[in-house]
Amino acid sequence: MEEWNETVEKWQELIEKGQYILLREELNEENPANVAEFLEELPADKQLFLFRLLSKDMAAEAFSFLDNDTQEMLVTSITDTEVRNIVDNMYLDDTIDFLEEAPANLVSKVLRNTDRETRALINRFLHYPENSAGSLMTVEFVHLSKTMTAKRAMEIIRKNGLDKETIYTCYVIDDKKHLVGVLPLRTLLFADEDKLVEELM
């Protein structure tokens, strides 16, 4: 324990001095679980910066040891290319573990950056029948939570709609990512802003 505390202090000192090349070398030689523990103790902006210093292999391995909140923050913040690098270098069961706890928008971002074969395996493990709406919506369609307001739903569509095959029909999911209904864009456009998606679908 004392040795670990000394290591952490040394790394924090390297951060303060801006000696990131040396820090990168040390982190990439460390046990991935220890790297994850160190990252979790840092502020979010430092977590992201140091995560990007890691080699592709170390980033993927350390990612699997991070808590859900840190994982979600990183996937939200990094680029599609970086997401692809993580998924390509992670074990499938670690990817599944993360996705089972992740919100739908992050599931979508990960699936969008996997090859067809990996995506099919992930969908199978997440209990999405192949070629079902649940399988397709995470990649090609806008999906909404049944508990969001019409105003929030329109914000989601404006933000994510360009990446989707179609925005004219939105798919509504529950907190377990199960399909519970559909909602035409036209209905949303003319709905009261405070109306819940669940009432409109």
Phi, psi for residue 146 in degrees, rounded to 5 = -70, -20
Which pTM does this prediction carry? 0.60
All structural domains of the chain, each given as residue ranges with its CATH number in brackets, are 1-126 (1.25.60.10), 132-201 (3.10.580.10)
Collect contacts of 16-24 with beta carbons under 8 A, ≥24 apart. 20/53, 23/50, 23/53, 24/53, 24/54
Say how far apart CA 187 and CA 167 lie, in whole Å: 12
Q: Which tokens go with 191?
A: 């709905």
Q: Do residues 11 and 27 touch, judged by C-beta distance below 8 A?
A: yes
Q: What is the DSSP letter of 162?
A: G
Q: For 24-73, what is each residue's pLDDT tens digit?
A: 999 999 988 899 999 998 988 889 999 999 999 899 989 988 988 899 99
